[in-house]
A and B are shown apart, each in its own frame.
Chain A
Amino acid sequence: MAEPEGRAAKGEKGNRPALVLHVPEPKYRPGDTADFSHIAIGQPGDQPRPDEAVHPSEIAGLAYGLIRVLGDDNLAHGPWNPRLAPETLRAMLGHMAMVRAFDERMFRGQRQGKTSFYMKCTGEEATSIPPAMALASDDMVFPSYRQQGILIARGYPLIEMINQIYSNKADKLKGRQLPIMYSSREHSFFSISGNLATQCPQAVGWAMASAAKGDSRIAASWVGEGSTAEGDFHSACTFAAVYNAPVILNVINNQWAISSFSGFAGGERTTFAARGLGYGIAALRVDGNDALACYAAAEWAANRARGNHGPSLIEYFTYRAEGHSTSDDPSGYRSAQEREEWPLGDPVNRLKNHLIAIGEWDEERQVAMDLACAEEVKATTKEAEKNGILGHGLHHPFHTMFEDVYEELPWHLKEQAEQAIRERITKFGTERPFG
């Protein structure tokens, strides 16, 4: 092949500088002193609240700023204040306290060997509960794996969650899914996948179907900032924009994807909200530890979708206060100081302090509520344990393993089911050794 013109004259390298590959590195590793003063968080109330019908390009600034409502004075500020009634705020706080209590107990249950796996959402409670409360209860949600708050906000029974986590005989998913991969059609809560970001185009498709049918329900998906690197997320943005789908694409930027910081998803270059702008999707960036801001952003996006003004992308800027799951130890990859140094505080405390500041709550009631949550979770756990815990044999009838692969059992699965039962009889002397 002929050399391009001029290349030979310059030589293979000539005096061109050597290229450098940039491999992102988080600011702080174990043992480092964490300092987040470089993060621009602005002031509560400093971001404008546009009309929901606005063209995305007119609000590009909201993709780079940070919508905040709760100030250091614990009061609500500015145009994004959702002006919720005190009983709504108390319900919100109650759900957040319940999720925290639930996470504590389930995490401990995994450590005690009652199940294989658990994932807490500590520090991120405001990214699921307030948005769920801003949606209608029949709006369809396509969660990722850290949105247990939605189920709690929608009144899904705790015992069903625990049965699923234990994969016991009362588990509605028949012991087929990894713990916390819930599903409840009754609560308009889509089946959680373990593959990342697949739910994003599905939410868009559900929203397109709703629009095609002239329905009034909208859809919302949740995905971590790390998973926005998946093609599915970008397909979702493309389809949402092309069909002006009534959907909210929530991105939970909790800074960490297991041990990879947000830089590995592009966080060093721009915000995650800004990804919406290239698609022509309205984009908001929100203080994810500010329950009122989270509610207000979701409410704005829901109004926009319901008014046929199109999709929104919301980045919830937050911090994953605990490990990714029961399977990793964050002290092995990040500074233990980060959690306390996080400049946006703790979402439960901030909402509690707000309610106290407006004279609608006090520490005594908080202590009593936390205790009541812990007691309820404890009692429900004991109740669920009567249905069995993982690996203790009290699971669903054995044959259910072969059901629901197809609507009807094909011949090859019938044969394999017979084989499995034979193996069981060989091993235990009976098909149902555990009753």
Chain B
Amino acid sequence: MSAGMDTVTQTAAERRLNMIEAINEALDIMLARDPDVIIMGEDVGYFGGVFRATAGLQAKHGKTRVFDTPISECGIIGVAVGMGAYGLRPVPEIQFADYIYPGLDQLISEAARLRYRSAGDYIAPLTVRSPFGGGIFGGQTHSQSPEALFTHVAGLKTVIPATPHDAKGLLIAAIEDNDPVIFFEPKRIYNGPFTGFYDKPVEPWKKHPDSVVPEGYYKIPLGKARTVREGEQLTVLAYGTMVHVAEAVCIAKGVDAEILDLRTLVPLDIKAIEASVEKTGRCLIVHEATRTSGFGAELSALVTERCFYHLEAPVERVTGFDTPYPHSLEWAYFPGPVRIGEAIDKLLKD
């Protein structure tokens, strides 16, 4: 089942969007529906964002709803917390996830704990959008996947879409959520579902069934994983770009894998994970982020603690290496088909 649509038979009425268009549409809809939604970030106003996610929104909704900010992530998140305390629903953009660190104190010490420390007096209903991940020759400062820094923080939610359909529905849900949400957009798949075979031509989204994006308002609940495909031999837990890479490898190897796109890391859909691993008895975890203390470690621990007696083999993690993201050697860093294939072989060998 794909994104809630059993079959995708293309009709003239079906609209196919890439992920940027789907995100832009979600923002447009929320600006129109809720006068308290406000978008701000570096270059997001007149220009429409370096990845075009906010293109046209300032012209349509006005300069006090969609505007540029100083180059100050601390300031962007800090003022967003204050706006949330006022009663707005800010959707700040951090231009690259790699730039988010100056805003961490405001996210970790302030936004994440505001509801708790004020016993509900104040909340921080922010949705921090930020492109993340590599595979675009962005070097070490435009390629990182820092999701585990945020999943470690009590009070934050972390959401990562893998398709245009999900990007729209999850972003609308994130904006309406009353808790602070980190919304990481896998920029490698903004324009097409990259499969990890970087030497082959990139397929555009319009050939993928999950590029069919309904018009208007819809939500995908946070905390619900998506079964990309059902299978019997092993369970793959992935999110973002790696959903597509893992799927392509499984198809290429002829492995009958059940692939779960987690969509939300916190809160995590533990029931879907348990059900799948109990069925297959083997679990492969794939993420692009560095390995040590990555979110894969949490997933591995959860699967081991909760599904141990169903496991036929040790849980396998496929991740980026524990190095900065190297510019010229990014495909050596990237957890691509060879690394994933090797892990699958290991999982299935007995």
Q: Verify A407–B38 contact, CB threshold 8 A.
A: no
> Cβ of B118 < 8 Å from any Cβ of A?
yes
24 contacts across the A-B interface (CB closer than 8 A): A140-B85, A181-B117, A191-B117, A191-B121, A198-B78, A200-B78, A201-B74, A201-B75, A201-B106, A204-B75, A208-B83, A209-B82, A209-B86, A209-B88, A231-B74, A231-B102, A235-B70, A235-B75, A236-B78, A404-B119, A406-B155, A406-B267, A407-B115, A410-B223
Within 8 A of A (CB), among B127-173: 154-155, 157
Considering the complex, which residues of chain B in the window 79-105 have a beta carbon less than 8 Å from any beta carbon of chain A?
79-88, 90, 102, 105
- B64 at interface by CB-CB < 8 Å: yes
Assess whether B266 is in contact with A193, with CB atoms less than 8 Å apart.
no
Q: Which residue of A lies closest to B156 (CB)?
A: A406
What are the 7 A-B residue pairs with the smallest beta carbon separation, nearest first? A205-B82, A201-B78, A205-B79, A235-B75, A202-B82, A209-B86, A191-B118
Instruction: Decide: B114 and A191 in contact? CB cutoff 8 A.
Output: yes
Whether the pair A236, B122 counts as a contact (CB closer than 8 A) is no
Q: Is the Cβ of B78 less than 8 Å from the Cβ of A235?
A: yes
Question: Bound complex: CA of A193 vs CA of B79, how far in Å?
Answer: 15
Kindly list 15 other residue pairs between chains A and B, CB separation below 8 angstroms, not including A205-B86, A208-B79, A407-B115.
A173-B117, A174-B119, A181-B117, A190-B122, A191-B114, A198-B106, A200-B78, A202-B81, A204-B75, A205-B78, A206-B82, A232-B106, A235-B70, A404-B120, A406-B155
Bound-complex Cα distance A184 to B267 (A) = 29
B105→A198 contact, CB < 8 A: yes
List residues 220-235 of chain B with CB under 8 A from any CB of chain A.
Answer: 223
List A contacts of B82 (CB < 8 A): 142, 201-209, 219
Which single residue of chain A is at the shortest CB-CB distance from B79? A205
Q: Is the CB of A407 within 8 A of B179?
A: yes
Q: Return the chain B residue nearest A171 by Cβ.
A: B119
Q: How far is the CA of A195 from the CA of B65 in the complex (A)?
A: 30
Write out, one digit per residue, whether chain A residues 396-431 have a CB within 8 A of any chain B CB (1) or not (0): 000000001111001110000000000000000000
* A201-258 interface with B by 8 A CB criterion: 201-210, 212-213, 219, 231-232, 235-236, 238-239, 242
A410's closest neighbor in chain B, by CB?
A: B267
Query: What residues on A are CB-neighbors of B270 within 8 Å?
Result: 411-412
Which residues on A sit within 8 Å (CB–CB) of B85? 140, 190, 202, 205-206
Q: Are A185 and B79 neighbours in the complex by a CB distance under 8 Å?
A: no
What distance in Å separates the Cβ of B62 from its nearest Cβ neighbour in chain A? 10
Q: How many A residues touch the partner, as a band?
A: 35 or more
Could you tell me if B78 and A412 are in contact, using CB atoms closer than 8 angstroms?
Answer: no
Given A206-B85, A410-B266, A232 and B119 touching (CB < 8 A)?
no
CB distance from A35 to the nearest CB of B (A): 40
Question: How far apart are B114's CB and chain A's nearest CB, in angstroms?
Answer: 6
**B178 near A: Cβ within 8 Å?**
yes
Complex interface: chain B residues within 8 A of A140 (CB): 85-86
Determine if A176 and B117 form an interchain contact, defined as CB atoms under 8 angstroms apart.
yes
Known contacts A201-B106, A231-B74, A239-B75; A173 and B83 CB within 8 A of each other: no
Contact, CB under 8 Å: A202 / B109:
no
Asked if B122 contacts A185 (CB within 8 A), the reply is yes
CB distance from A317 to the nearest CB of B (A): 26
B78-A232 in contact (CB<8A): yes
Residue of A nearest to B86 (CB): A209
| Any A CB within 8 A of the CB of B300 | no
Give the distance in Å from the alpha carbon of A412 to the alpha carbon of B302 in the complex: 11
**A202 to chain B: closest residue by CB:** B82
Q: Once bound together, how far apart are the Cα atoms of A340 and B179, in whole Å?
A: 50
CB distance from A398 to the nearest CB of B (A): 15
Question: Could you tell me if A236 and B75 are in contact, using CB atoms closer than 8 angstroms?
Answer: yes
| Min C-beta distance of B159 to chain A, whole Å | 13
User: Is the CB of A177 closer than 8 A to any CB of chain B?
Assistant: yes
Q: Given contacts A209-B86, A239-B75, are A176 and B179 in contact (CB under 8 A)? A: no
Most chain A CB inside 10 Å of its own CB: which residue of B79, B80, B88, B154: B79
Give the residues in chain A near B304, CB-CB below 8 Å.
Answer: none
The reply on A303 being an interface residue by CB < 8 A is no
The answer to whether B116 has its CB under 8 Å from any CB of chain A is yes
In the complex formed, the residue of A with least CB distance to B85 is: A206
CB distance from B182 to the nearest CB of A (A): 14
Query: Which residue from A205, A212, A412 sits with its C-beta under 8 Å from B267?
Result: A412
Nearest-Cβ distance from residue A395 to partner chain B, whole angstroms: 13
Bound-state CA distance A82–B338 (Å) is 76
> How far, in whole Å, are A143 and B225 apart by their CA atoms in the complex?
42
> In whole Å, how far is A37's beta carbon from the nearest beta carbon of chain B?
40
Query: Given A205-B79, A208-B83, A238-B75, A198 and B110 touching (CB < 8 A)?
Result: yes
Tell which of A181, A202, A203, A405 touches B110, judged by Cβ atoms closer than 8 Å.
Answer: A202
A210 to B122: give the CA distance in the assembly, Å: 16
B344 within 8 A of A: no
Query: A227 to nearest B CB, angstroms?
Result: 12
A172 at the interface (CB under 8 A from B): yes
Query: What per-residue 1/0 map shows which CB atoms of A160-194 lie under 8 Å from chain B?
Result: 00000000000011101100010111000011010
Q: How far is the CA of A205 from the CA of B122 in the complex (A)?
A: 14
CB of B72 within 8 A of chain A? Answer: yes
Contacts of A206 in B (CB 8 A): 82-83, 85-86
Interfacial chain B residues near A172, Cβ < 8 Å = 119, 121
